[in-house]
Structure formats: structure tokens, C-alpha cells
């Protein structure tokens, strides 16, 4: 046997041994032992985080889901099982899946009301809410927009709009049905700012030369991995995974690979303030 072949066989032996050791360690961890026995991690998603092939039924990430799915895969790899994505039409259906024990974990935006139905691990990503302002605007930080006479274009019933409703005292919101209409208000001069999640207004800014997307945020859509209530040990396991995924760069790499402009790694203490998502 030549040296090259001997080296390859030794490397293969080391990889197999490491994989076996890792699997044995996970199997002995009572927090995930049932998942290891099942051989799969059932991860719940909800629209619009995914799209489903009408012929094969295969689910793949869409929108923020292009960032989420690689994180879910990394969690499955850490447990040592295959990943199974479970799609739902809306967050309430995903919550029911978790409560019924038919999903092991689910990727769900944080809401205080939802926290009464499910538990959340440490937040992993967030989508900041901020403003797009026209050329020569005097608005430099979010607080500058809250003045008498300022008109802020918003999308009706959106999370970014609800967040704004709680903090505005002087400015006036002009609500419309869809983002294109809100942007047109800004472009036509019928609004002085457009309040939105950062990713879409970064794209809109390209259509209005000289416009600016503010660096600061007035709120955020905070994303966490949700679990069934009462699973404190598993919640700790998933939170430890999230912290590892942050420190190792896994989450940032997922954001970069997906081209997730405007999506950022969530600070671990983002929910400790009096109002989640605000500075």
C-alpha cells in the first residue's frame, strides 16, 4: 500500500470516528435524544419563508427563508440527524404544529403575544425598521422624522407600521396597501419619509438617486427559533447552538450567501429592553 493511499484511508478513518463520537455524544444528551432516535429534525417554516414545488412537494427557502434554511441545516448537523422542513400557510399553523409536538422547532418572528403560546431560544437574526428619505432631506436619524408637518408613508397593517404607531407623537402617517404605493408617495413628494424594513427600501433607494436609507432603526422584526412550551432544557440547547452559530460566523455567512442586504445578526440582548427592537 503506497503512502498516498494509506494517508487517505487514515483520513477517512478519522472522519468516521469523529462522526461516530459526535453522534454518540448527541445521543447521550437527553435534550435531543428523542430527535436522534427519530433520525430527523422537523423544522417548521411559514409563508413567505418558503416556496414549495407543486410537483415534488419539495420545500426550499424564500425571502428570509434563504437565510433561515442554512441555519436550520446547521442545527440538524449539530444534532447529527437529517433536516426535514415542514411548511405552513401562516404563523398560527406553525404554532399549532409546535404545540402538537409535530414540529421539533420552528422559525418564527418574535411577538409578545406569541411568547404566551411558545418559547423562544436566543434570537438569531433581525430585520431593522428604518426610513428611506428623499434627496436633500434634513432627516438624519429616526427621531428627526417625528416632527409636526412630517408625513411618513407606511404600509397598512405591516409590523413596521405597528412599531411606528407606538412611538410617533408629532408626525403623520400616510398608510397605503402595498410597498410600491408607499414608495410612490415619497418619490412624488407627497411623503417626507417611507418607513419600512430595511431590505426592501435598500432596493427602492436605487430608483431614487440621492435618496438615503437611515443607518439607525426605530424597531425591528426579531427572528427566533420557537419551541413547544415547557421544554426548558431543549430551549437551552438551541440557545447554545444559536450563540455558537453567531460566534463561529455561521449566521453571518448564511446572510451573506443569501444576499440578505439589510438583514443582520441579532444581538443576544435584543429582547432585554423595555421595547423589543428599539434602541
Interatomic CA distance for residues 255 and 247, integer angstroms: 14
Cα angle value 73/110/198 (rounded, 5°): 85
pLDDT digits (tens, 9 = 90+) for 39-67: 999 999 998 899 999 999 899 998 889 99
pLDDT digits (tens, 9 = 90+) for 227-275: 999 999 999 999 999 999 999 999 999 999 999 889 999 998 888 643 3
Interatomic CA distance for residues 196 and 179, integer angstroms: 8
| CATH 3.40.190.10 residue ranges for the chain | 3-124+223-265, 126-219
DSSP 116-131: GTEEE-S--EEEEEEE
The CATH label, of 3.40.190.10, 3.10.20.30, 3.40.50.300, 1.25.40.10, for the domain at 126-219 is 3.40.190.10
Q: Does domain 3-124+223-265 have CATH number 3.40.190.10?
A: yes
Backbone angles phi, psi at 120, to 5 degrees: -120, 140
CB 62 within 8 A of CB 115: no
Mean of the per-residue pLDDT values of the chain? 88
The contacts of residue 142 (CB under 8 Å, 6+ apart) are 130, 131, 214, 216, 217, 218
CB 252 within 8 A of CB 81: no
Q: Which residues of the chain have pLDDT under 50?
A: 3-25, 273-279
Amino acid at each position: 500500500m503506497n503512502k498516498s493511499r494509506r494517508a487517505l484511508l487514515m483520513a477517512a478513518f478519522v472522519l468516521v470516528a469523529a462522526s461516530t463520537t459526535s453522534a454518540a455524544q448527541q445521543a447521550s444528551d437527553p435534550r435531543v435524544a428523542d430527535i436522534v432516535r427519530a433520525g430527523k429534525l422537523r423544522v417548521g417554516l411559514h409563508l413567505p419563508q418558503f416556496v414549495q414545488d407543486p410537483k415534488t412537494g419539495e420545500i426550499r427557502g424564500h425571502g428570509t427563508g434563504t437565510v433561515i434554511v442554512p441555519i436550520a441545516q446547521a442545527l440538524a448537523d449539530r444534532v447529527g440527524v437529517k433536516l426535514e422542513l415542514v411548511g405552513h400557510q401562516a404563523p398560527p399553523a406553525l404554532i399549532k404544529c409546535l404545540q402538537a409536538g409535530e414540529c421539533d422547532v420552528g422559525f418564527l418572528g418574535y411577538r409578545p403575544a406569541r411568547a404566551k403560546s411558545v418559547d423562544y431560544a436566543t434570537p438569531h437574526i433581525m430585520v431593522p425598521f428604518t426610513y428611506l428619505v428623499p434627496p436633500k432631506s434634513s432627516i438624519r436619524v429616526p427621531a428627526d422624522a417625528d416632527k409636526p408637518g412630517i408625513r411618513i408613508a407606511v404600509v397598512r397593517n405591516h409590523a413596521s407600521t405597528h412599531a411606528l404607531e407606538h412611538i410617533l407623537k408629532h408626525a403623520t402617517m400616510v398608510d397605503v396597501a402595498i410597498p410600491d404605493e408607499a414608495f410612490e408617495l415619497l418619490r412624488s413628494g407627497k411623503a417626507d419619509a417611507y418607513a419600512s424594513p430595511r431590505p426592501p427600501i435598500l432596493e427602492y433607494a436605487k430608483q431614487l438617486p440621492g435618496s438615503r436609507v437611515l443607518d439607525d432603526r426605530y424597531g425591528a422584526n426579531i427572528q427566533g427559533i420557537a419551541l413547544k412550551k415547557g421544554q426548558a432544557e431543549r430551549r437551552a440547547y438551541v440557545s447554545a447552538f444559536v450563540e455558537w452559530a453567531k460566534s463561529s460566523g455561521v449566521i453571518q455567512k448564511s446572510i451573506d450567501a443569501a444576499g440578505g442586504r439589510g438583514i443582520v445578526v441579532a444581538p443576544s440582548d435584543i429582547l432585554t429592553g423595555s421595547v423589543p427592537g428599539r434602541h
